[in-house]
Amino acid sequence: MTGNIFDSHSHYADSAFDPDRHELLRALPGMGVRYVMLASSDLRDTAANLELAKAYPYVYSAAGIHPESAEDLPENWLSIVRETALAPKVMAIGECGLDYHYENFSPDAQKAVFEAQLGLAADLDMPVIVHTRNAWEDTMAILKKYRPRGVVHCFSGSAETAAEVLKLGMYIGFTGVLTFQNAKKAVRALEAVPLDRLLLETDCPYMAPVPMRGQRCDSSMIRYTAEKAAEIKGVPVQELIDAACRNALALYSIKED
């Protein structure tokens, strides 16, 4: 069994885990999972993730607002994120970014909330977890403006875009999408990412890798993504997992236990 897994992006506060959240989190270290990073989608997530991080030594959290939650925020939302980000075990801002997939969104609201969080990350000297979907041009323009430390998670761009992200010094995260039959774009992007800039993630409970596709995802399934990534990169599976773990520890400034 593979070990030393760092799931660099997960959502254990999601309602999909309500039936067995704590049983699962207690079990994951026995399944080779060494560290977990919780990404936040809104203010509720930001608070819940901090409590989970406090409860489990191997769990860390981020504080932030997902672009789909960028509208109807209270006036003091950034102060709440800032206050949470100062707590021990909160190691990043996010996930934040742009998502133009759905109709009836406000690009201006998303950009304002994204830029405010990038500014906060700079003020606090923290990395960011960036989400982008159907918004690459605007996302890259803003990243080039702020040049944050961080990761573009669940990477969906081209190999050429991956090269742009790498030039900014950022990391790139890959999910179980790598194992999907139609994942040619993700495979080509991974080919362009060196081992020292690669992160592994689940984005659980979403996007379980083959052969678990369609099930609720959890961090133990990351080994299937790692197997596919190792095949693409031409390296042993454990070597790739170890590299991804080192990268996540460095990005999130976590000292090894």
- Residues 204-251 pLDDT 10s: 999 999 999 999 999 999 999 999 999 999 999 999 999 999 999 999
pLDDT reading at 9 higher than 90? yes
* Backbone CA torsion sign across 192, 162, 168, 43: negative
Place of tokens 């997530």: 45
- Cis ω before 74 (30° cut-off from 0): no
pLDDT of residue 2: 76
Q: What tens digit of pLDDT does each residue of 134-189 get? A: 999 999 999 999 999 999 999 999 999 999 999 999 999 999 999 999 999 999 99
| Residue 129, both tokens | 């977890």
Fold of the domain spanning 5-251: TIM Barrel (3.20.20)
With beta carbons less than 8 A apart as the criterion, state whether 218 and 26 touch.
Answer: no
Residue 143 neighbours by CB under 8 Å, 6+ apart: 130, 165, 168, 170
Is 13:39 a contact under the CB 8 Å cutoff? Answer: no
| Alpha-carbon 228 to chain mean position | 19
Tokens 């999408």 belong to 177
- Within 8 A by CB and 6+ apart from 27, the residues are none
Distances (CA, A) of 64 to 103, 129, 183, 242, 248: 22, 9, 29, 28, 18
Q: What is the pLDDT of residue 1?
A: 62
- The DSSP line for 178-217 is GGSTT-HHHHHHHHTS-GGGEEE---BTS-PPTTSTTSPP
For the segment 110-120, what is each residue's pLDDT rounded down to a tens digit? Answer: 999 999 999 99
10 forms beta bridges with: 38, 204
Quick one: average pLDDT of 39-65? 98
Residue 34: count of CB within 10 angstroms of its CB: 19
pTM for the whole thing? 0.97
- C-alpha span between 178 and 57 (Å, rounded): 29
pLDDT tens for 72-107 read 899 999 999 999 999 999 999 999 999 999 988 999
DSSP letter assigned to residue 42: S
Does the pLDDT value for residue 257 go beyond 80? Answer: no
Q: What is the DSSP letter of 149?
A: S
Antiparallel, parallel or unpaired: β 33-38 and 59-63: parallel
Which single residue is written with the structure tokens 């990395």? 127
Of 20, 35, 19, 16, nearest in space to 222 by CA = 35
Give the pLDDT score at 104: 87
Contact (Cβ atoms closer than 8 angstroms) between residue 74 and residue 44: no
